[in-house]
Amino acid sequence: MPKILGIDLGTTFSAMSVIEGGEAKIIENREGGRTTPSVAAISKSGEILVGVQARRQQITNPENTISVTKRLIGRRFSDEEVQKDAKLLPYEMRESKDGGIEIKMGEKWLKPAEVSAMVLRKLKQDAEDKLGEKIESAIITVPAYFDDSQRKATKVAGEIAGFDVKRVINEPTAAALAYGLDKKEDKKIVVYDFGGGTFDISVLDVSADTIEVKSTGGDTHLGGEDFDHKIVQWLIEQFKKDEGIDLSKDNLALQRLKEGAERAKVELSTSQETEINLPFITSTDSGPKHLYYKLSRASLEEMVSEFVDRSLEIVKQTLSEAKLSPSDVEEIILVGGQTRMPLIQSSVKEIFGKEANKSINPDEVVAMGAAIQGGILQGDVRDVLLLDVTPLSLGIETLGGVSTPLIQKNTTVPTSKSQIFSTAADNQTSVEVHVLQGERSMSGDNKSLGRFILDGIPPSPRGIPQVEVTFDIDASGILNVTAKDKASNKEQSIRIEGSTGISEQEVEKMKQDAKAHAADDKNKKDLIEVKNMAESLIYTSEKAIKDMGDKIAEDVKKEIEQKIEALRKVKDSDTIEEVKKGTEELSQALQKAGAAVNQQAQKEDKKPEDTDSSEQK
Amino acid sequence: MDTVKKERDEYLAGWQRAKADLLNYKKETVEKTRVLKEMIKIEQVLECLPILDDLEMATSQLTAKQKKDSVIKGFLQISERFKKMLKAQGIEEVKTVGKKFDPALHEAIGEVKGEKSGVIIEEMQKGYIRDGVLIRAAKVKVGK
């Protein structure tokens, strides 16, 4: 089935997504970016450039580099907003015969939709390259406040780009789809969208088969860029105060300040303090000057509080227009990169008294929602194979009462896993396989599903026999556990029904238990591992003394024996550190002996070598 | 009987599909892992580049006399090691001054009047490329 491309055609950036394996996935553009600047240009040589390349040449070609067409698309030239923007935009515009807008690009006059189409065409081509297949159809998102004319013009832009535009949907609706909130009937949802250049708020009403926009509000000239700008201004002021130099006249310095400011802003979303460190920011007759300032999260929040407050005012206003109080709102969704700022998240939480949905990347959520809408239109492929998962880990008990999982929880069934185990003592002829279910580290804390004994293992030193334990769960959740001795081919098995058939509450309780005891369990498990290691080392040491006793010097032998005794004493205490220390000491003594034996062996080896060479002569 | 046959065909098709999906997924994973490794490598390089930029900036400020100072010489050597490391990873500098401005490789941050139009006059920050893929555009001033 041909894929439908979901496109978030943004004011400053656009993103695209498709459904793959039932899930929405962002597609990167040719340059490797997950978002594409919504900018198109015609270069002096007549070449059309779109995206990051158009932006890179903007400074040399401002009059032919067209950005923010989203503010113009489908509007009338005489619109107040258009007139306001026209004064700020570096390219030329005029009124078309039908009262619309025309933009001068190169020698031609184009409609905003034609310029948007250039961006959309690049997205189409890049998506086709990435996916290796033709893309014919698209879902394009628009702000909820777009009127009929703006929607139509957006659809036309898509068609000029070569798409069959299946739907033009609202951005907040797309965000709600991405979070799967379309299934929550009779719910009020607020989408708080703080993008790079615009702020939008929408109230949605979800009913059985529609998502209706109840009211919208926003500010088309309020965005994350204002935050960056504020930091840059602050840096310029500080530097002027400290050094008496105005950096705002220096292009390169300004560029570095902008990058530094954005980085600082991003870092302050996760840490409390950051530094803006720009050595050699400029130079004077007296030598180079460096810029270094610390910025705390609190100071940033103070700096930009006016912007956040403005957005919150708009939220309240929009809610009252929809005749809703914050408590009527069941879900809040955060969209736009700026919503990563902790201050925004906490302010929104304060207004509504609940956490917002923010688990999906806020720069990508709208495009993903558009892709999901595409998936809904195509209709889900009937899935005859409904596969279950094991809700809890399945494993066996190993030395010291440790629970060793073979099949991890959330593994899709049917599945089969096997692992080789061995014996713990010399001449052990049978092993007990104790099948366990649960997430705890110690077998006693997990649920026992059954046990059986495999015997007839030929007597051999510990660690030598190879017993393969296989767990196999079929599609209906029946677990078969088989243990097989590789040497004798003897095998034994158990069949456990309903290993996945524990009630949901029970599963939940076991998972909670595991979480609550995680640290404790880890300590216990670590202790047992350390003990096991100590025991194994004692065994090896004793064996070494027995096997090579005559080659080891008497004093070394004595030392080892002492260390063995010491380790044996602490082994059963419950302090990991002591057991570790004892193990370490014994291990060192053993190495010493090993080295001595090796040296001796080498010496002995050398002699015959010499005779060899003389023989050859 | 027909229903059973139909069901059987459906199940078989579903099974084959699932098996094919898995095999394809495995193949894709190999490719994806390779691409991911490359991406991580480039991400790490990108993280380091601002430090190299600062070093370059510092170097450009040195007078001929300062460059003879043995401590500074040592610093310059550190800078060289950094560049060698990039080279060893197959990362090359983007050529700038005297070349025609190309937005696929260069980012214009200013213009110089009275110079040859469309030609790069000054490099403000180095750009880097690897196997023909741009890692970071060079920041340049272009003649007007």
- pLDDT digit string, tens, across residues A478-523: 889 999 999 899 999 998 876 545 566 777 777 777 787 888 888 8
Q: Residues spanned by CATH 1.20.1270.10 within chain A?
A: 520-612
Q: Which two structure tokens, joined as six digits, stand for A129?
A: 């390259």
CATH number among 3.30.70.960, 3.90.1150.110, 3.40.50.300, 3.90.640.10, domain A224-302: 3.90.640.10
Selected residue of B19, B40, B57, B62 to mutate for chain A interface (largest A Cβ count, 10 A)? B57
Q: Is B128 on the interface with A (CB under 8 A)?
A: no
Q: Is B20 on the interface with A (CB under 8 A)?
A: no
Q: Which two structure tokens, joined as six digits, stand for A557?
A: 């032998």
Selected residue of B46, B107, B122, B129 to mutate for chain A interface (largest A Cβ count, 10 A)? B107
Q: Which residues of B touch A60 (CB under 8 A)?
A: 101, 108, 111, 118, 142, 144
Is A171 a catalytic site residue?
yes
- pLDDT digit string, tens, across residues A43-69: 888 899 999 999 999 988 999 999 999
Tell me the pairing of strands A36-37 and A13-20. antiparallel
- pLDDT digit string, tens, across residues B29-53: 998 899 889 889 888 888 889 899 8
Please report, for residues A14, A63, A224, A238, the alpha-carbon distance to residue A263 in angstroms, rounded to integers and kept in the order given: 21, 29, 13, 18
Q: Is B107 on the interface with A (CB under 8 A)?
A: yes
* pLDDT over threshold 50, residue A611: no
* pLDDT over threshold 60, residue A196: yes
- pLDDT digit string, tens, across residues A214-253: 889 989 889 999 999 999 999 999 999 999 999 988 878 8
Per the CB < 8 Å rule, is A251 touching B103?
A: no
* pLDDT over threshold 60, residue A382: no
Q: Residues spanned by CATH 3.90.640.10 within chain A?
A: 224-302
- pLDDT value at residue A617: 35
Question: Which residue do the tokens 């059986």 mark?
Answer: A452
- pLDDT value at residue A387: 64
Q: What is the mean pLDDT of residues B100-128?
A: 90
Per the CB < 8 Å rule, is A251 touching B110?
A: yes
Q: Is B142 on the interface with A (CB under 8 A)?
A: yes
User: In angstroms, what separates the C-alpha of A31 from chain B's closest C-alpha?
Assistant: 8
Answer whether B45's CB lies under 8 Å from B86's CB: yes
Selected residue of B21, B32, B45, B54 to mutate for chain A interface (largest A Cβ count, 10 A)? B54
Nearest to B109 among A59, A287, A385 (CB): A59
Q: Residues spanned by CATH 3.30.420.40 within chain A?
A: 4-179
User: In angstroms, what separates the C-alpha of B76 from chain A's closest C-alpha?
Assistant: 16
Answer whether A338's CB lies under 8 Å from A223's CB: yes
- pLDDT value at residue A44: 81
- pLDDT value at residue A608: 44
Per the CB < 8 Å rule, is A60 touching B106?
A: no
Q: Is A574 helix (H, G, I), strand (E, B) or coil?
A: coil
Q: Which two structure tokens, joined as six digits, stand for B11?
A: 């199940």
Helix (H) or strand (E) holding A314: helix A297-321
Q: Which two structure tokens, joined as six digits, stand for B72?
A: 């500074």
Phi, psi values for residue A132, rounded to 5°: 70, 25
Q: Which residues of A touch B61 (CB under 8 A)?
A: 280, 283, 287-288
What homologous superfamily is domain A394-516 in, according to CATH?
Answer: Substrate Binding Domain Of DNAk; Chain A, domain 1 (2.60.34.10)
Q: Which residues of B touch A55 (CB under 8 A)?
A: 107
Is A250 a catalytic site residue?
no
Q: Pick from B103, B77, B99, B93: which is nearest to B128 by CA?
A: B93
Per the CB < 8 Å rule, is A56 touching B14?
A: no
Q: How many CB pairs lie under 8 A apart between chains A and B?
A: 59
User: In angstroms, what separates the C-alpha of A55 from chain B's closest C-alpha?
Assistant: 8
Domains and CATH numbers, chain B: 93-144 (2.30.22.10)
Q: Which residues of B touch A279 (CB under 8 A)?
A: 54, 57-58
Q: Residues spanned by CATH 2.60.34.10 within chain A?
A: 394-516
Percentage of chain B modeled with pLDDT above 70: 100
- pLDDT value at residue A498: 61
**Beta-carbon contacts of residue A521 (< 8 Å; ≥ 6 apart):** A440, A441, A442, A445, A514
* pLDDT over threshold 50, residue A613: no
Q: What is the mean pLDDT of residues A382-398?
A: 73
Q: What's the fold here for domain A4-179?
A: Nucleotidyltransferase; domain 5 (3.30.420)
For residue A355, count CB atoms less than 10 angstroms from its CB and return exposed for 0-12, middle for 13-18, buried for 19 or more. exposed
Selected residue of A42, A45, A56 to mutate for chain B interface (largest B Cβ count, 10 A)? A56
Q: What HEC string does A244-273 produce? A: CCCHHHCHHHHHHHHHHHHHHHHHCCCCCE
Polymer length of chain A: 617
pLDDT band at A136 (very low <50, low <70, confident <90, very high): very high
Q: Which two structure tokens, joined as six digits, stand for A510?
A: 């076991």
Rounded to the nearest integer, the mean pLDDT of chain A is 87
A336 vs A385: which has the higher pLDDT: A336
- pLDDT digit string, tens, across residues A267-312: 999 999 999 999 889 888 888 899 999 999 999 999 999 999 999 9
* pLDDT over threshold 90, residue A412: no
Which residue of chain A comes nearest to B58, CA vs CA? A280
- pLDDT value at residue A297: 95
Answer whether A450's CB lies under 8 Å from A496's CB: yes
Percentage of chain A modeled with pLDDT above 90: 53
- pLDDT value at residue A381: 41
Which residue of chain B comes nearest to A48, CA vs CA? B103
Is A8 a catalytic site residue?
yes
Is A547 a catalytic site residue?
no
- pLDDT value at residue A612: 39
Helices (H) and strands (E) in chain B, counts: 2, 6
- pLDDT value at residue A23: 85
Question: Which residue do the tokens 């951005």 mark?
Answer: A171
B35 secondary structure, DSSP code: H
Which of A143-147, A188-192, A437-441, A500-504 has maximum average pLDDT?
Answer: A188-192
- pLDDT value at residue A271: 92
- pLDDT digit string, tens, across residues A40-50: 999 888 899 99
A193 vs B26: which has the higher pLDDT: A193
Answer whether A118's CB lies under 8 Å from A50's CB: yes
Q: What is the mean pLDDT of residues A424-433?
A: 89
Q: Pick from B137, B135, B141, B136: which is nearest to B109 by CA?
A: B141
Q: Pick from A397, A391, A508: which is nearest to A445 by CA?
A: A397
Q: Which residues of B touch A288 (CB under 8 A)?
A: 58, 61
Answer whether A414's CB lies under 8 Å from A478's CB: no
* pLDDT over threshold 80, residue A596: no
**Beta-carbon contacts of residue A549 (< 8 Å; ≥ 6 apart):** A557
Q: Which of A102, A126, A171, A331 is an active site residue? A: A171
Per the CB < 8 Å rule, is A60 touching B108?
A: yes
- Biggest alpha carbon distance in chain A? 108
Per the CB < 8 Å rule, is A60 touching B137?
A: no
Q: Pick from A176, A174, A217, A222: which is nearest to A197 by CA?
A: A222
Q: What's the fold here for domain A520-612?
A: Substrate Binding Domain Of Dnak; Chain:A; Domain 2 (1.20.1270)
Please report, for residues A29, A138, B127, the alpha-carbon distance to residue A135 in angstroms, rounded to integers and kept in the order given: 14, 8, 34
- pLDDT value at residue A591: 83
- pLDDT value at residue A614: 36
Q: Where are the beta strands (DSSP E) in A440-536?
A: 447-454, 467-473, 479-485, 491-496
Q: What is the mean pLDDT of residues B63-73?
A: 90
